[in-house]
């Protein structure tokens, strides 16, 4: 948010700013057949026009500014833009920066479609605001000029900003609760939080009410100084070193660069710190004094107005000669990579490698089999100050699956098709499980697999025209229960017969939260997923009219998972068990319509430790995640669809069709 101080001077500065912004790269594009207009009015809640506000059109995705206009005496604005999709930002010195319609962030706002030679009307009403004003003084008590004052919303969703003039500032903010951060001119690393706290969460929450003004004064803390010298292992200056002073118990801190003599000096707020430095190309890092890890680094207390003098030099280095072997057979592993102390090398099939310039002291060496035939292994050794140390690392054998992907009709290889190998008893197919894709010959090799019976799922490249499938014994299927079972064995490579891809079809339809009431957000997917990893690109967003379209599925019968975020997760047919879901038939090159009205739901609630974060509920039969809820003040509540058998944080529960089940998590 921009702060302009003074009555007429404020209005004059605002007008000048509008003129400058309009001239700098935001001029209205020349009229053309593919150019349209966004126009409307910006008013207060009482209908009064807001004059000289900036209205900026941003391209919707990716987000970048396109053009800017100012509102006139009637609060009217008009923007000429190329045909496309846009987000609109409204800015005025006496109001909060907001995004149409009445939102405080760009991605919570709406997207407006503009067509050629047409006018899209977007009227905006200013959100209710209040003000925080006050005086910022320096450590000696004198008014602090050009101090930065920032407001942090309680939920982190909005930040207001102002600078002081003569020590005074004003923040115009949407109604809500805020913490206030203050820093000297251009020294944001010295930001403190009212009243005189160095950690944001310790700052006082101030309530901003509609039309009200709140006075918040603050005196800047007197900083301390950390200075010193860093050197190479031989004692020569470490010129251009990066030095970072990190608070022990919070984020932030300060950063500086050492001069040609390796000397540095930086101001920090009073508190406890760790100090780390790197060479100019960031290839080596070390903590004061002589420590390789943050856990073993020294802690330093910096007092207000005091100076802490330090010196450190890089530890001497040696080399590690690394070999790897199978943990079961003891056989040597030829092709692997290793890393230690930010050094990494690969053996290239030779059976050994050398890591150079490894700092003396405790060092963890991690080794990965390049072929996928073993799981990663590691060992901690004491790197010597000179010479070469031999290090042998044992790796637990993994299972490997190999296959080839072909066109079902022609037999031609299909590249860029990605494979997921999952347990036959459960599946959460987020994007991270598709870690292997077919090469130009159609071949896929998937390693690092735990042993046991597996199902295979393939996802062709977007736009290829091929459909996704569970790999069946004789072609594709949309039902995991009908998929081929592949028995993965540790230490062995299983070759699966060629996977044959059929052409894709489409499922489309509308999702309703109640009869005739379209869902306005959410996701439809043929696969379940973990909320921490997200969905795959097979999933489709639900549009503002409740419509969805999935066009990358093979011509089989598929279940679909529905959610609009506020409702219970449920499969087609309003069930919680994927294996009992209604299946939608897809035809190659065709379109199938499937509408879904989300079912009435049951509720699971209870107590849980606050540090639990999120409570996850799975279907007890399929293992699919079918409910999730955050823990607030030791309680959680989640909507679920019933009846189904579930496990809540591993605790079995029978969910009724309607009603509430209480599950307290110890």
State pLDDT tens for residues 49-75: 999 999 999 998 889 999 999 999 999
pLDDT surpasses 80 at 160: yes
CATH no. for 317-395: 2.60.40.1120
Q: What is the mean pLDDT of residues 68-95?
A: 94
Position 155 scores a pLDDT of 76
pLDDT surpasses 50 at 282: yes
Position 382 scores a pLDDT of 96
Neighbours of 467 (CB within 10 A): 28
Position 226 scores a pLDDT of 96
For 240-256, write each residue's pLDDT tens digit: 999 999 999 877 789 99
For 190, the 3-state DSSP assignment is helix
pLDDT surpasses 70 at 26: no
The reply to whether 317-395 and 399-501 are identical in fold is: yes
Among the listed residues 207, 41, 2, 67, the one whose alpha carbon sits nearest the alpha carbon of residue 126: 41
Q: What is the mean pLDDT of residues 318-324?
A: 98
DSSP 510-544: EEEEETTEE--S-EEESS---TTT---TT-EE--T
Among the listed residues 657, 481, 653, 503, the one whose alpha carbon sits nearest the alpha carbon of residue 581: 481
pLDDT surpasses 90 at 340: yes
pLDDT surpasses 50 at 632: yes
Residues near 7 by beta carbon (within 8 Å), at least 6 away in sequence: none
Q: What is the mean pLDDT of residues 302-326?
A: 97
Residues near 23 by beta carbon (within 8 Å), at least 6 away in sequence: none
Model confidence at 580, in pLDDT bands (50, 70, 90)?
very high
305: its two tokens? 């107005």
> Domain residues of the chain, as ranges?
7-125, 129-219, 224-313, 317-395, 399-501, 505-597, 602-662
Position 537 scores a pLDDT of 80
Position 183 scores a pLDDT of 94
Q: What is the mean pLDDT of residues 456-478?
A: 96
320: its two tokens? 């590690």
pLDDT surpasses 80 at 565: no
Position 497 scores a pLDDT of 97
Least confident of 36-40, 203-207, 539-543, 591-595: 539-543
Q: What is the mean pLDDT of residues 396-417?
A: 97
Length of the chain: 666
Q: What is the mean pLDDT of residues 326-335?
A: 97
The C-alpha angle 562, 568, 571, rounded to 5 degrees, equals 35
Tell me the C-alpha distance between 495 and 444, whole Å. Answer: 10
Position 17 scores a pLDDT of 33
State whether the Cα torsion 113-461-588-539 is positive or negative.
negative
Position 154 scores a pLDDT of 87
Position 544 scores a pLDDT of 80
pLDDT surpasses 90 at 483: yes
Least confident of 272-276, 481-485, 512-516: 512-516
pLDDT surpasses 90 at 93: no
Model confidence at 22, in pLDDT bands (50, 70, 90)?
very low
Position 6 scores a pLDDT of 34
**Fold (CATH) for 7-125:** Immunoglobulin-like (2.60.40)
Of the chain, the percentage scoring pLDDT greater than 90 comes to 79
CATH superfamily of 399-501: Carboxypeptidase-like, regulatory domain (2.60.40.1120)
Position 531 scores a pLDDT of 74
Decide: pTM greater than 0.75: no
Position 535 scores a pLDDT of 72
Neighbours of 380 (CB within 10 A): 10
pLDDT surpasses 90 at 444: yes
Model confidence at 430, in pLDDT bands (50, 70, 90)?
low
Of the chain, the percentage scoring pLDDT greater than 70 comes to 94
Model confidence at 9, in pLDDT bands (50, 70, 90)?
very low
Model confidence at 16, in pLDDT bands (50, 70, 90)?
very low
- Beta pairing, strands 76-82 & 168-174: unpaired
Q: Which residue has the higher pLDDT, 268 or 544?
A: 268
For 446, the 3-state DSSP assignment is strand
Strands (E), 569-613: 570-571, 584-585, 591-593, 596-597, 602-607
Residues near 330 by beta carbon (within 8 Å), at least 6 away in sequence: none
**Fold (CATH) for 505-597:** Immunoglobulin-like (2.60.40)
φ and ψ of 19, to 5 deg? -60, -40
Q: 161 pairs with which residues across the strands?
A: 150
**Fold (CATH) for 224-313:** Immunoglobulin-like (2.60.40)
Q: Which one-letter DSSP state was computed for residue 600?
A: P
Class of 129-219 in CATH: mainly beta
Decide: 92 and 54 in contact? Cβ < 8 Å: yes
Model confidence at 431, in pLDDT bands (50, 70, 90)?
low
Q: What is the mean pLDDT of residues 78-98?
A: 93
Q: Which helix (H) or strand (E) holds 23?
A: helix 7-23
Q: What is the mean pLDDT of the chain?
A: 90
């Amino acid at each position: 948010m921009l702060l302009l101080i003074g009555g007429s001077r404020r209005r004059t500065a605002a007008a000048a700013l509008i003129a400058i912004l309009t001239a700098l790269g935001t001029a209205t594009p020349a009229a053309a057949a593919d150019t349209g207009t966004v126009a409307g009015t910006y008013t207060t809640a009482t209908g009064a026009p807001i004059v000289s506000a900036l209205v900026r059109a941003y391209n919707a995705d990716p987000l970048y500014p396109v053009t800017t206009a100012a509102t006139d005496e009637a609060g009217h604005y008009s923007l000429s833009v190329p045909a496309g999709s846009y987000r609109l930002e409204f800015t005025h010195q006496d109001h909060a920066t907001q995004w149409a319609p009445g939102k405080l962030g760009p991605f919570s706002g709406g997207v407006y479609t503009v067509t050629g030679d047409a006018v899209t009307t977007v009227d905006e009403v200013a959100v209710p605001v209040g003000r925080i004003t006050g005086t910022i003084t320096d450590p000696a008590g004198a008014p602090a000029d050009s101090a930065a004052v920032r407001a942090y919303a309680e939920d982190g969703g909005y930040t207001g900003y102002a600078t002081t003039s003569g020590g005074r500032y004003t923040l115009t903010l949407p109604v809500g609760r805020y913490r206030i951060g203050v820093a000297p001119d251009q020294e944001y690393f010295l930001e403190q939080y009212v009243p005189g706290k160095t950690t944001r969460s310790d700052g006082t929450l101030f309530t901003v009410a509609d039309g009200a003004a709140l006075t918040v004064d603050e005196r800047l803390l007197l900083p301390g100084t950390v200075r010193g010298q860093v050197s190479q292992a031989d004692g020569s200056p470490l010129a251009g070193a990066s030095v970072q002073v990190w608070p022990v118990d919070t984020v932030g801190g300060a950063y500086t660069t050492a001069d040609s003599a390796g000397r540095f000096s930086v101001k920090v707020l009073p508190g406890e710190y760790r100090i780390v430095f790197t060479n100019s190309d960031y290839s080596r890092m070390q903590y004061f004094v002589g420590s390789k890890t943050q856990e073993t680094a020294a802690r330093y207390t910096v007092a207000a107005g005091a100076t802490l003098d330090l010196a450190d030099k890089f530890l001497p280095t040696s080399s590690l000669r690394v070999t790897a072997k199978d943990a079961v057979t003891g056989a040597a592993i030829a092709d692997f990579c290793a890393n230690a102390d930010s050094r990494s090398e690969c053996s290239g099939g030779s059976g050994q490698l050398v890591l150079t310039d490894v700092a003396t002291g405790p060092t963890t060496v991690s080794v990965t089999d390049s072929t996928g035939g073993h799981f990663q292994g590691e060992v901690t050794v004491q790197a010597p100050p000179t010479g070469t140390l031999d290090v042998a690392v044992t790796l637990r054998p993994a299972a490997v699956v190999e296959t080839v992907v072909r066109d079902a009709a022609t037999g031609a290889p299909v590249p860029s098709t990605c494979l997921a190998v999952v347990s036959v008893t459960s599946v959460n197919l987020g994007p991270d499980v598709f870690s292997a894709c077919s090469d130009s010959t159609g071949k896929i090799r998937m390693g690092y697999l735990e042993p046991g019976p597996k199902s295979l799922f393939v996802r062709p490249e977007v736009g290829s025209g091929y459909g996704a499938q569970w790999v069946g014994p004789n072609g594709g299927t949309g039902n995991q229960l009908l998929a081929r079972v592949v028995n993965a064995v540790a230490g062995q490579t299983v070759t699966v017969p060629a996977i044959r891809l059929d052409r894709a079809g489409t499922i489309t339809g509308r999702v309703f939260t109640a009869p005739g009431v379209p869902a306005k957000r959410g996701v439809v997917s043929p696969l379940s997923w973990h909320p921490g990893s997200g969905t795959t690109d097979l999933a489709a967003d639900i549009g503002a009219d409740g419509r969805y379209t999935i066009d990358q599925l093979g011509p089989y019968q598929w279940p679909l998972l529905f959610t609009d975020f506020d409702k219970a997760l449920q499969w087609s047919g309003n069930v919680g068990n994927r294996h009992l879901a209604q299946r939608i038939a897809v035809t190659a090159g065709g379109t199938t319509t499937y509408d879904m009205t989300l079912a009435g739901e049951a509720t699971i609630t209870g107590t849980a430790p606050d540090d639990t974060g999120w409570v996850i509920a799975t279907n007890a039969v399929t293992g699919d995640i079918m409910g999730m809820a955050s823990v607030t003040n030791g309680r959680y509540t989640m909507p679920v669809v019933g009846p189904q058998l579930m496990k809540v944080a591993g605790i079995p529960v029978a969910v009724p069709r309607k009603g509430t089940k209480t599950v307290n998590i110890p």
